[in-house]
Amino acid sequence: MMPPAPKDVGLFSEGPLEILGLSQEQFSEAAQEVLSALGEPHYRMHQLRDWIYKRTPDRFELMSDLPRPLRERLQESLILHPLDFELEKISRDKTRKSLWRRKEGGTIESVLIPEPSRTTYCISTQAGCPVKCTFCATGVGGFLGQLRASEIVDQVVSMRQRTGTPPTNIVYMGMGEPLLNFEAVLRSLEVLTDPNQVGFGARRITVSTVGIPERMRRLGDLFPQVKLALSFHAARDELRDQIIPLNRKYPLKEVLAAARDHARATGKRVTFEYIVLPGVNDTQRDSREIGRRLRDIPSRINLIGFNPFRGAPYEKPSVQRLLVFRNWLERDYGGTVTIRRSRGEDIDGACGQLSLRRLEARG
């Protein structure tokens, strides 16, 4: 007869654990507790680690080289996938957008962006977003809650398992503001980069934020190899206040000082993401202000044409308008300026668009 499941002691005192949200030490403790209860040899630990972090099947039952009693105990004691897959849309350009349902209700999105030399996963950190940037469909849909670290990691391992295409780069740039869910983001970075867990290279991870100064600095201290992207979008406080309401709490002077400190501490350039809103933030005055603000920060600028959604107050910029603005910036800013090619427009590829459309469909 199998011993009772260890649900009343140690890590299991509050019930099944979401295994993908555990630190390496917590994982070892939980796994050892399960293995010891069944008298399993130590090498099962290595098998289990490989199954969970490298192969990550849909359920414990599919871990074929583990004994059935162990798989049953794992099913009782651990939660492998906190997210449920709902649907996937594939664009003409092969971009893949996944919609996941949370156990407590609501949906989040992840995007796989294939390119000739890289595959980028764009992952969410919140269900919806409380920041309510006026250019973003995620904020329009409202804020439904913080994602747990296990849910952040699950997006990565589940997309990898479902698509058979592992990432070369991971970007925390989906739904939500990562630095407003800071502890869960830090734990997810720990799990993703630990060589005994997912083992993904920190240099190939980027965290995007609208700017929370002290957390930008702390991120650089704790994960100096992780890149920082700042959602910039305006170089004047009065305009940025309108586009990004959080700017009223964290004005540009403070945010850019933190970006400068991050670059100095990590030795890495900051990427300034700039969504071009025609007639709003793409004038020659804007270009001069950007050059003045950013000239002493090791950085690059990534221009992004606004991707319209229903009810949005802006229009999509023409290619010519993007090129003209880029030319002004190359003169005024002096650093690298790139234009990001839009991906997945035919599948509501921008952050929050698919979830917003599903909410609208449900009335």
CATH code for position 241: 3.20.20.70
120 residue type, one letter: T
pLDDT at position 351 is 56
Overall domain count for the chain? 2
pLDDT at position 4 is 52
Q: Are residues 273 and 342 in the same domain?
A: yes
Residues 6+ apart with CB under 8 A from 161: 55, 56, 57, 58
| 133 in active site | no
pLDDT at position 269 is 97
Q: Are residues 203 and 94 in the same domain?
A: yes
Q: Are residues 257 and 308 in the same domain?
A: yes
Q: Please, what is the end-to-end C-alpha distance for the chain in angstroms? A: 52
Range(s) of the domain holding residue 31: 10-79
pLDDT at position 206 is 98
250 residue type, one letter: Y
Q: Are residues 87 and 61 in the same domain?
A: no
Q: Residue 153 and residue 361: Cα distance in Å, rounded?
A: 29
pLDDT at position 137 is 83
Q: What are the 10-residue block averages of pLDDT along the chain, 363 residues in total?
A: 50 84 97 96 96 97 96 96 97 95 94 96 96 86 92 98 97 96 98 98 98 98 98 97 96 98 98 97 98 96 93 92 97 95 65 49 45
Pick from 361, 363, 356: which is nearest to 108 by CA?
356
pLDDT at position 65 is 95
pTM over 0.75: yes
Q: Are residues 109 and 175 in the same domain?
A: yes
**Residues of the chain by 3-state class (helix, strand, coil), percent to 5:** 45, 20, 35
Q: Are residues 179 and 241 in the same domain?
A: yes
| 351 in active site | yes
Pick from 169, 65, 79, 188: which is nearest to 125 by CA?
188
Q: Are residues 140 and 216 in the same domain?
A: yes
Q: Are residues 20 and 130 in the same domain?
A: no
Q: Are residues 218 and 254 in the same domain?
A: yes
pLDDT at position 274 is 97
Among the listed residues 122, 133, 136, 351, the single catalytic one is 351
Q: How far is CA 196 from each of CA 20, 27, 105, 114, 359, rounded to the nearest angstrom? A: 12, 10, 32, 27, 39
Among the listed residues 109, 151, 190, 273, the single catalytic one is 109
pLDDT at position 7 is 46
Beta strands in 200-258 (DSSP E): 205-209, 227-231
